[in-house]
Amino acid sequence: MRDVVIAGAAMTRFGKFAGTTVRALAEEATAQALADAGIGPGDVQWAAFGNAVGGILQGQEMIRGQAALRHTGLLGVPIVNVENACASGSSAFHLAWMAVASGAVDVALAVGAEKLTHPDKARSFAALGTAVDLDQIGDLEAQVTGGGAHASGVGASPLPEHGHAGQRSFFMDIYAANTRAYMARSGATVEDFAQVAVKSHRHAALNPKAQYRQPVTVGEVLGSRVVAPPLTLLMCSPIGDGAAAVVVCSEDYARRLEADTVRVRATALVSGRDRAPEEETSVERAARTAYEAAGVGPEDLDVVELHDAAAPAELMTYEELGLCPAGDGRKLLASGATALGGRVPVNPSGGLLSKGHPIGATGCGQLVELADQLRGRCGARQVEAARVALAENGGGFLGADSAAMVVTILSR
């Protein structure tokens, strides 16, 4: 396999944009990513388009990428449509990396785009709820009732400003059950989860592309509406819209460009499985594969973007990525190590909680943030001397595991 680099990366603002379309969002991110790489659409040889719920919410099935990218100048090259729940964007990136690493092409593009906001809020909630095995939904409901499920990769939460009072996604029940089980085995408290939200909002206040940029206090997080005990509103990621795009190319091709490149050290995509409680989660399996391929370990990471669709998932994922021992997520957070200025800042973008979670765009959005961190472009939220970065992005829910999981490692 050939070495692959990111030559261009860009994203739109994440937020609620009633008057825009998936196409407009994808066009904006694509044009900016190509300009960042110093190439035109005619230089792209292969493209992957990540989108999760466009078929349900906009009615565009089967050719979403061709439709969204129709006016970008990319028509004529192979465009592959990728639907992999909240991991759609990172899965599109994984395929683009494979196209270049295999030698099939020299330049590939990954785009993730989603418009989750909809005039009928219930349709957004319903769309998110399809990222489970509907043939075995009864098993999942029983699992949630029993309180033992790992849900770090499932979709965004319904927030009251997005719908009528009392509406919520079944996913929040999954997260809540998982959170209660984690509290029992680790000693973590709701105050710990509130501190995750406080950190995320503090970071997002420094990110002009973030959906929610207002700092919050622990009291405000704990005092916000209870969505599913013990999760409160400000512990849950919002519904929103956005797009992100990443240009990857071979090292040989990159030498012809003036682009500021970032090396793709590894990208590992796994599916969830019906696992016993003591077996590895999808995060652990993908991280182990990525660490081995990259020749690094968690101790080498300088900055991390992880999938915090609900605040407790951040603490759980610290442990699964090996940033700390099992059960010590709350201690790592309290130490300040994962805040800006700490040993390994996590979600300097604001993460899903505050930057936003337009699900098909999320994975590519994480990679844009990390590419910019490694290139020293993040301004007030810049991680000093960042050299090695990791992104973890999951999607859907299958049994006791995320249905899809991607872990990517980048470096200077």
Contact 269, 53 (CB under 8 A): no
User: What does the alpha-carbon distance between residue 301 and residue 347 come to, in Å, rounded to a whole number?
Assistant: 13
Around Cβ 187, how many Cβ atoms within 10 Å?
12
Task: Return the biggest CA–CA distance within the chain.
Answer: 57
162, 201, 357, 364: the active-site residue: 357
User: What does the alpha-carbon distance between residue 339 and residue 273 come to, in Å, rounded to a whole number?
Assistant: 32
Residue 230, CA distances (Å) to 54, 95, 166, 198, 383 in order: 31, 38, 16, 16, 32
User: What does the DSSP 8-state code read for residue 389?
Assistant: E
CA 301 to chain centre: 18
User: What does the alpha-carbon distance between residue 330 and residue 292 come to, in Å, rounded to a whole number?
Assistant: 27
86, 236, 324, 364: the active-site residue: 86
**Which amino acid is present at 293?**
A
User: What does the alpha-carbon distance between residue 156 and residue 169 come to, in Å, rounded to a whole number?
Assistant: 8
Catalytic annotation on 357? yes
Would you please indicate which residues are annotated as catalytic (active-site) residues? 86, 357
